[in-house]
Amino acid sequence: MIVAIYPGSFDPLTVGHLDIINRAASFCDTLIVAIAKNSSKMPLFTVDERLVMIKDSFRDNGRIEALAFDGLLADFCKGRSVSLIIRGIRGHSDFDYESSLAFMNEHLAPEVQTVFLLAKPGYSNVSSSLIREAASYNGDISSLVPAHIIPQIKKKFSVSNR
């Protein structure tokens, strides 16, 4: 039984994340999409809002779960018998950070392997922060996030612009 985790901020979930999640789910029994609560970033969406976004995207796939966690990813993996950490790599710029993260996670939990999936070329420049920025100026982000999330993004910016 392979339990994998795909951790991140998902603020918001993007088509690039969906691609990684679908591909990772094809080679594990359970995939936990996990929102790290202790991010130093100032999120646009609350953890609960992001959890609902992920759950709504994968309602039909009982092998994909959405959870949030506090503290170290390595500890969360140990507590949940997770054997694989999935991370997406979009290009050279992700590599240094991802290799340091994998090193630290390997140090803290040697029994857990990190697996990198290369983003598909069309998704290699997609990022949540650029989507937030474009949306804040009413830019068209409709092909970059799942359709059900678009009204939630629009609502955030219409509220914050009042």
Report the catalytic residues: 17, 41, 90, 128
Residue 102 binding ligand COA, by CB under 6 A = no
Give the residue nearest to ligand COA (CB).
Answer: 16
Sequence-separated (6 or more) residues with CB below 8 Å from residue 28: 2, 3, 4, 63, 84
Helix intervals (H) in the chain: 15-25, 47-57, 73-79, 92-108, 128-136, 150-160
Q: Three-state DSSP class for 118?
A: strand
- Residue (96 or 162) nearer to ligand COA, CB: 96
Among 46, 61, 81, 129, binds ligand COA (CB under 6 A): 129
- Residue (56 or 98) nearer to ligand COA, CB: 98
Residue 36 binding ligand COA, by CB under 6 A = yes
Could you give the CA distance from residue 13 to residue 144 in angstroms, rounded to a whole number? 9
Residue 2 binding ligand COA, by CB under 6 A = no
